[in-house]
Each structure stands twice: as structure tokens, then as C-alpha cells.
Homo-oligomer: A and B are copies of this chain.
Amino acid sequence: MSYFDAASSAPLHPVARQALQASLDEGWADPARLYREGRRARLLLDAAREAAAEAVGCRPDELVFTSSGTRAVHAATAGALAGRRRVGRHLIVSAVEHSSVLHSAQAHLADGGTVSEVPVLRSGAVSPAAYAEALRPDTALACLQSANHEVGTEQPVAAVADACRAAGVPLLVDAAQSLPWGPVQAGWSLLTGSAHKWGGPAGVGLLAVRKGVRYAPQGPTDERESGRAPGFENIPGIVAAAAALRAVRAQAAAESARLRELTDLIRARVPELVPDVQVVGDPVHRLPHLLTFSCLHVDGETLLHELDRADFSVSSGSSCTSSTLTPSHVLKAMGVLSEGNVRVSLPLGTPAEEVDRFLEVLPRTVAAVREKLGSAGPASPVSVLGDDLVVDTLGRRCPIPVIELAKVIDDVPVGGTVRVLSDDEAARLDIPAWCEMRGQEYVGEEPADRGTAYVVRRLAP
């Protein structure tokens, strides 16, 4: 098996396992108690906090452990927004934040707050200038991830932090993806992380709040974790998480260089080996272990299934692999192709041979999926409406609308148009992306009786 989905969850680091074992015996008691077992548990918790704070780059009393990265983000946004409620109720997020941040923003909206979503460039990064423009006198909190979880693009945290500081607005950095590789650039006010992303166990997140940042924990609280994370502390998990963070940091320099070579290789070779592929995300300012590409005319779900059968575990932002049947909000915000989307994120220690084998398996897997899809199902009805061809793909899901478009484009006279009728959300993203890849003109979309008509003008012969 080649597990290439470290960005979802990393396998438990051996050091984490060791630490967990040891602290199961020492860390099960209530650290608030004064008897021996309680004091031992407290010592373990304090030591873990110091280690984690050092890795994060903050004071131990600025850091609390939560039960997940998601919980850390939910607590951080709610606490920071409430802490500055007098200033206003405006929240800024980038369009490509993790769902935990976007869910917090939705909850804030539902609660009567206002939210600005800063768009991203095609690389997936926000422009610091665009971010700065979103800052308002009533902005209570700004959120920006350190690096994107789906395409690996690093965000310009330092520049955005400067703008936030100038405006007197605290900046929450979701560092879930980058924390294994190093501390976040200076300037953050709140920071969150998730242990199972760095080889720690599930069930542990962290939340750091700089001294001086206004913060009012929301919901019922208790006396645990400075009143910022209620519930009995999961000390064995916390100890293992802190130990794993130290361990991966010790390997970070060497492993990031090595994995970057491997991901550079995949980024370079995939477009050579597989026709009609778009590699997305910033090629340089990116996480070392993660890359993403999309394959035209490929059904993401089938591709993942076939890769799984070939012993590769990867993830996808294609609509047909998501429970909502919409493409990943990240790909959507970047305006890049979503069909046949594959994210590869290599765990620490991934052998080069596994990457070689992936590059060997991928082309024939994609080809097989394309062949199956190309021949599958009836051709969509094509009709002529004035000077337009109309392809009716209503009721058919990604990547069929794009495949049907590709089938008829040669029948369109150069300068003529074709209208693709579709009720699949992915078409809105994938038809323009296809046009760009194929050198055709995407004219725009129009409402139709059912679904939407996507209008394409044939430019290329």
C-alpha cells in the first residue's frame, strides 16, 4: 500500500506511539487533583505544553490543547469575535480556508455577523493587497491559513499580518497543514493546529492566543485548559502529540527537501505522462509534500477507486467524490479544473520507489478511466438552435458535460458557438477550464429552462 493522503491524516509517528504507551500508565488521572497520580498527570501535561509552545513559537501559558484542530478553530473564531464585539462584528476569511473556518464564518453569519471572503489568485494564494482592502473599522477578526490543505499553496501570512497589525485587527492563522514543517511566520495573534496532521494521535488540537489579544471563550466553560477548552484533558494523546511534533520538526529540514524533490518530480512528470492534465497550486511557494492535479475527461470517483485498487490512497476535490456533489470550494475559488482531481500528499519517509510506481501506474489508470467513460452511456442529444449547437447533458454528472462538449466541438464551425445544458454544479468550473486548456472561448453562462446553458465559441480549428 502507498498511502499518499497525509494531508487528511498522517499515520501515527513511532515517537507518538511510544509516548502514548508510556503516558497511558502515567497520565490517566485528573491533573487537577493533588494526589500522586494527579500530580504525575499534571507534570506530563505541563511538559507537553512547553514542548508544543516551543514548536509553535509562543509562551506555554498562551497555548491550550483542544480535542481537535476543528474544535480549536471553532473556539478561536468564537472567542476572538466575542472578545472584540464592541469593535464590530465583521469577520474576514480567505475563500480557500479549511471547512472548519468556513463553518465558523457561516455560524457567525447566522448569528447576525458579517463576513468578507477574500478571493484568491489562480495559484490559490490571496493577494496581500486584496486582503488589506477587506479590513474595515468594524473588523473583529481576520483569518488566513498558513498553507492550503488541497493544493499546498503557502499564503502570504507575514504581509497580511502586517496589514492586520496596522489596522489593529487580530489575525487567526490556521496552521494545520504547515505546523509539521516549521513555525508560522511572525505576526499571528491566534494560531490553531491539529495533531493527527503531524503524526500525533487523533483527538488533539492546539489553540494559541497571544497575550494581549482580546478573547472571550464562548459556550459553557470549565476550569480546564485556562477555561478555553472544556472537558477532561486527554493527557496521553496530548503527550503523544507534543512528542510527535518535536520528532517531525527534527526531521523537517531533511524530509522537506527530500519530499519536495519527489513532489517536484510528480509535478513535472504527470503532464508529460498523462495528456490533458492541469497541475494546480503555486509551483514554488508551497508545502513540500503536497501537490494537486486534475485530469480532463475523468470521473474523479472512478479514478480514486482504480488508484485504490492499484494500492494508492489519494484524495480528490472532484464533485463526484464529495457528499455534496459540488467541487471543492478551493478549486472553485482558484477557477481551475476540478474533474479528475487528485491530491497527493506524501507522509514522512515515503520511499522514492513508491513515487516511481505511482508515475508508472497513473497514466494507464487515467487512460482506462477515460476509455470507459468515453464509451459509457448514450451520447447526449444534440440539436441546432439558430446558429448554435445545443448539447443537452441535463441529469448527467461530471465529467460527462465536458466529454460531450469535446465530442461536438469539431462539428461547430470556427466562430460558431455551442451551448451545453447542464444541471451539474461542476460544469460551471470545468467548462471554462476546458476552454482554456483547449484554446476555445468561454462566452459565459445563461439561465435555461432547466439547469444552465454554458456557451462556448469555437476558436481553434
Contact = CB atoms under 8 A, between A and B. Distances in A.
A71 interface: yes
A103 B313 contact: no
A68 interface: yes
Contacts of A323: 223
B313 A35 contact: yes
A37 interface: yes
A358 interface: no
Contact residues of A: prevailing secondary structure: mixed
Interface residues of A, number: 68
A203 interface: yes
A12 B24 contact: yes
Interface stretch (A183-191, A231-239, A280-288, A438-446): A231-239
Interface string A381-422: 000000000000000000000000000000000000000000
Interface stretch (A2-10, A158-166, A366-374, A426-434): A2-10
A314 interface: yes
Nearest to A196: B232
Interface in A231-251: 231-237
18 contacts: A3-B37, A5-B29, A5-B30, A5-B37, A12-B24, A20-B24, A28-B196, A28-B201, A35-B312, A36-B308, A37-B313, A67-B203, A68-B232, A77-B220, A78-B219, A103-B220, A201-B236, A205-B231
Rank and list the top 8 A-B pairs by shortest CB-CB distance, nearest first: A68-B231, A203-B234, A67-B67, A35-B313, A103-B220, A70-B231, A203-B203, A202-B234
Interface of A: 1, 3, 5, 8-12, 17, 20-21, 24-25, 28-30, 33-38, 67-71, 74, 77-78, 99-100, 103-104, 106-107, 194, 196, 201-205, 219-223, 230-237, 301, 304-305, 307-308, 311-315, 321, 323
